[in-house]
Amino acid sequence: MKMSGGVEWGLHCCVVLSGAGAPVTAAKLAELHDVSQSYLAKQLQLLSRAGLVRSTLGQSGGYVLTRAANEITVLDVVEAIDGVEPAFRCTEVRQRGPMAVPAERCDTPCPIARTMDSADRVWRESLRRVTIADLIADVNRTTPPEILAGAREWLRA
C-alpha cells in the first residue's frame, strides 16, 4: 500500500506551473526540486497523457497547464500519475475451493468488496474537493513573500 512518490512531484510542478505564465522546461523543474531530471520527465509525460498539461517543443518550450488552477483537482493529478484503478482488487475467492458459491448467486457484490469500494470512493471524493488553486492560496499565505518572489525570478532566468 504505497502511493507513487511521483505524485508529490507532480503536484509541486502544477503549483509552480500555475505561478509562471511562460512554459517551463522539465530540467528547470527538476533542478528546482532537486530530483532526478529523467524521472520527473516521466511523470510529466503522464500528466501530458492525462491532458492536464500541454507540452511545447523546441526552443523556449516547456510545459503549461491546460486549464485554470481552480479547475484542476488533486484527484486529477493523483489519478494521472498513480493510476485510476482502486487499491483493492477482489479475486473472487468465494467462487473457488470446495465450498464455492455458484456463479449465478454472485450477482450482488459481496460486503467486503462493497466496504472497500465505499472507502475508496470517500477517499477520492476528499481529494476531489481540493484544487490546485486552494494549494496555491495556502502556499501564498504560509511562505515568506521574498522566497516566492525569488523563486519566480529564478524560474524566469
Partner DNA sequence: CTTGACTCGGACAACTGTTGTCCGAATAGA
Partner DNA sequence: TCTATTCGGACAACAGTTGTCCGAGTCAAG
Q: Is 45 helix (H, G, I), strand (E, B) or coil?
A: helix
Instruction: Report CA dihedral (101, 1, 14, 46) to the nearest 10 degrees.
Output: -60
Query: Phi then psi for 133, rounded to 5 degrees?
Result: -60, -40
Residue 48 lies near DNA (rule: CB under 7 A): yes
Residues at the site binding ligand SF4, with contacts judged by CB under 6 A: 8, 12, 90-94, 109-110, 112-113
Work out how close the CB of 116 gets to DNA at its nearest, in angstroms, rounded to a whole number: 14
Whether the CB-CB separation of 50 and 76 falls below 8 Å is answered with yes
Work out how close the CB of 102 gets to its own copies at its nearest, in angstroms, rounded to a whole number: 9
Residues at the site binding its own copies, with contacts judged by CB under 8 A: 1-5, 7-9, 11-12, 31-35, 74, 82-83, 87-91, 93-94, 96-99, 101, 105, 108, 110-112, 115-116, 118-120, 122-123, 126-127, 130, 134-135, 138-139, 142-144, 147, 150-151, 154
Cβ nearer to DNA, comparing 42 with 129:
42
**How distant, in Å, are the alpha carbons of 16, 31, 53 from that of 34?**
14, 5, 21
What is the DSSP pairing of strand 53-56 with strand 62-65? Answer: antiparallel
Residue 42 lies near DNA (rule: CB under 7 A): yes
Q: Of ligand SF4, its own copies, DNA, none, which one does residue 66 interact with (CB within 5 to 8 Å by kind)?
A: none
69/78 Cα distance (integer angstroms): 15
How many Å is the maximal CA-CA distance in the chain? 69
Q: Of its own copies, DNA, ligand SF4, none, which one does residue 151 interact with (CB within 5 to 8 Å by kind)?
A: its own copies
